[in-house]
Structure 1
């Protein structure tokens, strides 16, 4: 897929997949007590899907951009080339940075496609 033909709608599905939420909870349990992590995930399930630019999400998270050679980033890039859509990213406002609860590899993939593309996400 050429960068000039990239749009939010041909890269992303509209709603997170069911398996994204348990993955987010697993990660969040490293940062929060299990009950608090579970509560955050419940909020993510109910939150509306919004859009933000990949470059802004990456900056707010303070995480490094993974290399294109990362196996998971590469798999997501291949998915997009095969016209398979990616799941929205799950985000949590931290005290001093944005927490990517699920979708870090998808975010990096999106950044390589075009850093200005709007990325569907849930934010709590």
Structure 2
């Protein structure tokens, strides 16, 4: 499966506020702003769906989860998915795109997933 036909080149604009909303539950506001700014500025890179899932420690959502299924159907219709937004750490934080990563894994666990990665303050 050619991954480039499944993904947009860059995250959609609404992904960044979604990431900020999630990160706001975990981090102080100043750190959230810094990370989201870093995600906007970072280059898109690629990782395998199985590696993102392993590093995050999150459970794989089932293929029949409504949001996962929606993303699988988007791909089958020929629509492209938005790259995911990640925060490096132990565990890796999927700031935006958990359902997209799960959908990618269900398509094939070796599927390449474009992502933006930021690091927390040291």
Class of the TM-score when normalised by the shorter of the 2 chains:
over 0.9
Say whether residues 1:64 and 2:59 are aligned partners: yes
Q: Kindly tell me the number of residue pairs found equivalent between the two proteins.
A: 118
* Corresponding residue of 1:122: 116
What is the deviation of 1:93? 1.1
Mapped to 2, the partners of 1:118 and 1:84 lie a distance apart of: 16
Deviations 1:3-50 (A, max 9, x none): xxx211111011000000000000000010112111100000000000
Identify the residue that residue 102 of structure 1 maps to in structure 2. 96
- Residue of 3, 6, 14 corresponding to 1:8: 3
SS of residue in 1 equivalent to 2:110: coil
Distance 1:7 1:30 in 2: 35
Report matched runs for 1:5-44 at 5 Å.
6-44=1-39
* Cα distance in 1, alignment partners of residues 3 and 40 from structure 2: 21
**Runs of 4+ displaced beyond 3 Å:** none
Q: Which runs of 5+ in 2 are unaligned?
A: none
